[in-house]
Amino acid sequence: MCIPIPTITRGQVEEANGRAGLRAFPFVSGEWKSFTAAVTGIEIQKGRNVDFIIVKGRNSDYGVRLSAQLDPSYVSPGFDSDIDLRIEKNTNRLLKILKAFDLATFEGEGVWVEPARFDSAIGKTFAFGIVGATEDGHPVYTDRGLQKVYTAFRGLTPTLLPVAVHDGYENAPPPTVCAMDSPTFTASEDGFVPF
C-alpha cells in the first residue's frame, strides 16, 4: 500500500542527496596544518557574483573542498585590504589548480576551463593546508555556530599520507556539514572555502 506525501514533489526527491557526508579534516585554530587527499570530483559552482571551480578530495573518511574563482579579478565589495594583492592571490590559486589537474584548453591567448577533462583528475593526490579561522586570537564562527575553516591548495603530491590528528585540534563539524556535499557552501571574502 502506498502512502501519499503532501507538499513533496518528484523533482525534490530526485534532486535530494541521500549520501552520508565525510568528516572535515582535523584543524587547529590559527595554525596551518598540511594533509593529502585524492581527487573524487571536480565541478563548476555558480556563485552570486562569480563562479568557482571546486576540487573535492578524500582521505579515509575525511573530505575537503578546495575552490578557485573563475574570474580572479572579482574582489568582494568592502574588501579593505590590498585589492591588487587579492587579485594576484586569486589568479595564482586558479593557475595552480588548472595546471596541476590539466584542466585548461586554449584558443589563441584565451584560456578555457574544459569540463571534459575533469574525470582525468580523479584519483590524483594533492596536498593542501587547513586552518581554523581566528580574529584577534579568538575563533571565527559561521551563522550556524561552526568555526570557519580555511583551506589552501598546495599542489600535486606522489603519496596519499594517513591523516594525523595534531595536538590542539578542534572538533570537526559532524558529517551533516560535510566538506564534500555541503549544500551551503560559500566562499569567504578572502577566497578561501569555509565549511
Render pLDDT for 86-122 as a digit per residue (tens, 0 to 9).
Answer: 899 999 999 999 999 999 999 999 999 999 999 999 9
The DSSP annotation for 169-187 comes to PPPPPPGGG-TTT-TT---
DSSP code, position 147:
B
Res 165: pLDDT:
81
Identify which of 168, 154, 143, 166 has the alpha carbon closest to the alpha carbon of residue 64. Answer: 154
The tally of CA atoms less than 13 A away on the side-chain side of residue 119 is: 1
Helices (H) and strands (E) in the chain, counts: 2, 10
Res 55: pLDDT:
96
The model's pTM: 0.75
Res 180: pLDDT:
43
Helix (H, G, I), strand (E, B), or coil: what is residue 184? coil
DSSP code, position 100:
H
Res 19: pLDDT:
67
Q: What is the C-alpha to C-alpha distance for residues 96 and 100, in angstroms, rounded to an integer?
A: 6
**Using only C-alpha atoms, what is the Rg of the chain?**
18
Res 194: pLDDT:
37
Report the Cα–Cα distance between both ends of the chain, in Å, rounded.
41
Res 4: pLDDT:
81
Averaged in consecutive runs of 10 residues, what is the pLDDT profile of the chain (195 residues)?
84 79 86 95 93 95 94 83 89 96 93 94 96 89 86 95 78 43 39 37
The DSSP annotation for 1-62 comes to -----TT--HHHHHH---SPPPEEPP-BBTB-EEEEEEEEEEEEE--SSS-EEEEEEEETTE
